Amino acid sequence: MSSTDGPDLAEVPEERCFLSTAEAAALERELLEDYRFGRQQLVEWCGHASAVAVTKVFPLPALPRKQRTALVVCGPEQNGAVGLACARHLRVFEYEPTIFYPTRSADPLHRDLTTQCEKMDIPFLSYLPAEVQLINNAYRLVVDAVLGPGVEPAEVGGPCTRALATLKLLSIPLVSLDIPSGWDPETGGDAEDGLRPDVLVSLAAPKRCAGRFSGRHHFVAGRFVPDDVRRKFALRLPGYTGTDCIAAL
């Protein structure tokens, strides 16, 4: 989800599959201001849908008991809040999430989500092991919820920057929420040298950088976006099946 305020959308081009950072911010503003959805609602929907995407790619019945583990790495901005909600839903779905949340936000929503995870006995790591193989051995997958569109690595501090450097070296599957952390949301800059996720879950609608995603699975989690908002932003996306909250792209 976007945490950057963009300009009002003055003109919408013909139908497309991707949004610019400004368009994504305008879409989110429409949901918050015109539809009166709450920020917590949007975070909750996105966190739930992200956890569902994990279940689609890594279905629990196919995993041995020792491979139900997932490390969720959260930043202090809105994508981090989505990661916290995702971890909680993974626990409800009977996975075994662990959270690394090195730079904690003072935002009440982040605090509430953190409390929920703690009350559900989801462990929080105090540090991320420098030995990459320890992470590879301990977890089946990692969820990248560090940075969202419009958030630069320098804005979130050293611990998150160091975590991203570690994530680049992992050999286990990586699931990125909204955009791969560190990518330029417009151009996909750093796609070659940055994170290379196996799974991308685009929140609300794919951002422009998703055009450079070359991983195995790409989902959009935007079932909550009303039809007239999709039309206003000329989004051409796959339909959702039945009661599914995500669609494969």
* pLDDT tens track for 154-206: 666 688 889 999 999 999 999 999 999 989 889 887 656 679 999 999 999 99
Q: What is the pLDDT of residue 236?
A: 86
**Given the DSSP bridges, would you call strands 174-177 and 247-248 parallel, antiparallel or unpaired?**
unpaired
Report how far Cα 29 is from the mean position of its chain's Cα atoms.
Answer: 19
Q: Are the CB atoms for 180 and 211 separated by under 8 Å?
A: no
Read off the pLDDT band of 48 (50, 70, 90). very high
Residues written for the chain: 249
What one-letter code names the amino acid at 82? V
User: What are residue 175's DSSP bridge partners?
Assistant: 143, 199
* Global confidence as pTM: 0.91
Q: How many CA atoms lie within 13 A of 234 on its CB side?
A: 11
Q: Are the CB atoms for 238 and 220 separated by under 8 Å?
A: yes
Q: What is the pLDDT of residue 4?
A: 47
Read off the pLDDT band of 9 (50, 70, 90). very low
- The top-scoring range by mean pLDDT among 11-15, 108-112, 189-193 is 108-112
pLDDT exceeds 60 at position 25: yes
What one-letter code names the amino acid at 125? L
Q: If you compute the radius of gyration of the chain from its CA atoms, what whole number of angstroms results? A: 17
Q: Round to whole Å and give the CA distance between 187 and 116.
A: 36
Q: What strands, in cross-sheet order, belong to the sheet with 217-221? A: 124-125, 96-100, 69-74, 141-145, 174-177, 199-203, 217-221, 247-248
Read off the pLDDT band of 130 (50, 70, 90). confident
**Given the DSSP bridges, would you call strands 217-221 and 247-248 parallel, antiparallel or unpaired?**
antiparallel
Q: What is the pLDDT of residue 175?
A: 98
pLDDT exceeds 50 at position 61: yes
- CA angle (152, 172, 103) in 5-degree steps: 35
